[in-house]
Amino acid sequence: MKRVYVNEQWCLGCHLCEYNCAYANSPKAGQGLYGMVDALKDKPIFPRITIESTDEDASCADPSQTAISYAVQCRHCTDPICVKSCISGALHKENGTVVIDHDKCVGCFTCILVCPYGAITHDDTGAVQKCELCLKNTAGKPACVAGCPNAAIVFEER
Amino acid sequence: MKQYVIIGNGVAAAASIEGIRSRDSQGLITVVSKEKYPVYCRPLISYLLEGKTDLTRMQYRDPDFYKNNKAEVLYGVSAEKLSSGKVELDNGSSLPFDECIVATGSDPFVLPFKGLDTVENKYTFQTLDDALAIEKAIRKDSRVFIVGAGLIGLKCAEGLTGRVGSITVCDLADRVLSSILDAPTASIVQKHLEKNGMSFLLADSASEFKKNADGAYTALMSSGKSVDFDILVLAVGVRAGTRLVKEAGGKVERGIVIDEACRTSLDHVYAAGDCAQTMELTQGTSKVMAILPNAYLEGYTAGVNAASEDAGSPAAVFDNAIAMNSIGFMGLHIMSAGSAPEGCQVYEEKDQDHWKKLFTKDGYLTGFMLVGDIDRAGIYTNMIRNRIPLSEVDFESMKKLPNLYAFGEKYRHHILTGEV
């Protein structure tokens, strides 16, 4: 199946993917740039993709190297431990994609406790969020990839 | 065609069905369900009281789960006796089996408090029926007294917050959540709960219950204090459901002893979930770890092995069980995993809203405790469960913030550029 993969050497660390993700999954999604400003400007954002960057996290910095950054989002594991650990049955697989039924989720965060990649996140109300490859929102395909200016993340079959 | 009998109908049982069906699409599966409901996850009952879920949404699997998996469920039936190749039921019939999976969960135990029989309004908090009975009993002005400040007692208290007049919780231990938190972290949690209206009587226990003339009750505490209440919830603790296996001559300690293939000491009998006892990875001792992820992983493993030909080495193993918990109370999240073994080193960070403790020993991360900031904690859990040596990780970076960079380029590329 198609997944989002990272080309670390092309990542600029610009965080656009985080903004595009937060917007694509917001109630204002699909309303163009004005909608994006409305949804994100001056607000804390809760994307389902996270940039790790040696530039920004001093604890990772190694002055002898050029800065490294890359995006992390759900790997849609073949055998996902989050699904097996979910107490409510909210997390499940649909055609290979790990998706969450928000009606069933009670926000216990057991999935965050077990995801080996730190890929499951939550919003400010405590609701669990995860990458569903934008298959359920208006973007229809990963908004992080569509908006990446440098092909540092790609959506493809490998 | 193999005949499978699964005793119990909780998450471990559902996982057993899925494990069996991953290998055997034809065998006959019969589930013996004491409760009259399809599989639901017991920890959800506090969310039911709270209104965060309902009877439909709390179903663990689709309505067609049993049908799609060709499993027959006998509702309202208990297993009475387990013997070689046969389970006897309380309705007088018996079920022959080739493979049996015991997923009997645990039952609350009730201490013989003096005067307890004078309290009509008393409940345990373990099953959906318990929650529905409490739901029916509470009024806006009910004074609720909960005995036990562990996970069950406090989740019950949270579920009732805002729905009753007052909530008082007592525990013999000197802190809340004594099974998962140490004293300093427990005190943060306690303050948070008190701010949300709960009252605590810790290091104290009820010595006697009395019914008063007005129909309400009073608990006399060993400290000399007393608590007036209308509704009593007993959440002292649970016991693994070991009876069937014990009486059949199987090896039982605190729970049914199982190996990494989830086999009991009895031939063709497996056990999974809260009734079972298995090796805890970070301590190397066999323990009952009554948590949902382990129930699923054991149930699935038992199912796969039950459905496979016995060819010496088991088809599936679950050999990295650790104790772990993620629990939240009114917006405050708490996570713990693994253990703090004797002589371990402790890395600690704290400020007003968060507290982090990481435990390392002999070159491995063995456990952690997080209060408040829990983001990406699974990266730590993975280090514990998969025994990733600290020498392979930039732990200086990792201990401040869980990240994938600290594992180095090879691991990172493996995860982010390929299928995992």
SS (H, E, C) B323-353: CEEEEEECCEEEEEEECCCCCCEEEEEECCC
Question: Residue B78 is which amino acid?
Answer: S
Tell me the nearest-neighbour CA distance from B49 into chain A, angstroms.
Answer: 12
With cut-offs at 50, 70 and 90, classify the pLDDT of residue B353.
confident
- Token look-up 């996570």 returns B335
Average pLDDT across chain B, whole number? 96
Q: Is B420 on the interface with A (CB under 8 A)?
A: yes
Kindly provide the residue ranges of all beta strands, DSSP E only, lying in B264-320, ordered along the sequence: 269-271, 276-280, 285-287
Measured CA to CA, the distance from residue B103 to residue B270 in angstroms comes to 9
User: ipTM of the assembly?
Assistant: 0.95
Domains in chain A: ranges and CATH:
1-73+144-158 (no CATH), 75-130 (3.30.70.20)
Question: From residue B32, how far is each of B91, B95, B308 by CA, in Å?
Answer: 11, 10, 22
Q: Which CATH number fits domain B334-416: 3.30.70.100, 3.30.9.80, 3.30.390.30, 3.40.50.80?
A: 3.30.390.30
Does residue B115 carry a pLDDT above 80? yes
Question: Mean pLDDT throughout B159-183?
Answer: 95
CATH topology agreement for domains B3-107+238-306 and B116-234: yes
With cut-offs at 50, 70 and 90, classify the pLDDT of residue A81.
very high
Tell me the nearest-neighbour CA distance from B132 into chain A, angstroms.
Answer: 18
Region at A132 (left for phi over 0; alpha for psi -120 to 50; beta for the rest): alpha
| Interface contact flag, B60 A121, Cβ < 8 Å | no
Q: Are B302 and B21 in contact (CB under 8 A)?
A: no
DSSP character at residue B216: -
Q: Are A51 and A15 in contact (CB under 8 A)?
A: yes
The pLDDT tens digits for A100-130 are 999 999 999 999 999 999 999 998 888 999 9
Cβ-based contacts under 8 A for chains A and B: 135
- The encoded tokens of residue A20 equal 């595009």
Q: Which CATH number fits domain B116-234: 3.50.50.60, 2.60.40.420, 3.60.150.10, 2.30.31.70?
A: 3.50.50.60
Tell me the nearest-neighbour CA distance from B361 into chain A, angstroms.
Answer: 21
Largest CA distance in chain A: 49
- The encoded tokens of residue B143 equal 């004074």
Does residue A62 carry a pLDDT above 90? no
- Predicted confidence at residue A57, as pLDDT, reads 62
- Predicted confidence at residue B309, as pLDDT, reads 84
- Token look-up 């493996």 returns B414
| % of chain B exceeding 70 in pLDDT | 100
**How long a stretch of residues is chain A?**
158
Give the rounded distance of the alpha carbon of B58 from its chain centre.
16
Does residue A25 carry a pLDDT above 90? yes
Q: What is the dotted CATH code of the domain comprising B3-107+238-306?
A: 3.50.50.60
- Predicted confidence at residue B351, as pLDDT, reads 86
Q: Are A5 and B416 in contact (CB under 8 A)?
A: yes
Sheet holding B94-96, edge to edge: B79-83, B86-89, B94-96
- The encoded tokens of residue A28 equal 């204002």
Average pLDDT across chain A, whole number? 91
Question: Mean pLDDT throughout B132-145?
Answer: 98
Does residue B179 carry a pLDDT above 70? yes
- Token look-up 């996290």 returns A57
Does residue B312 carry a pLDDT above 80? no
Query: What is the domain partition of chain B in residue ranges?
Result: 3-107+238-306, 116-234, 334-416
Cβ-based contacts of B376 with chain A (< 8 Å): 50, 112, 115, 118
Q: What is the pTM of this model?
A: 0.95
The vertex-B48 CA angle with B45 and B50, nearest 5°, equals 115
| Interface contact flag, B43 A87, Cβ < 8 Å | yes
| Interface contact flag, B59 A59, Cβ < 8 Å | no
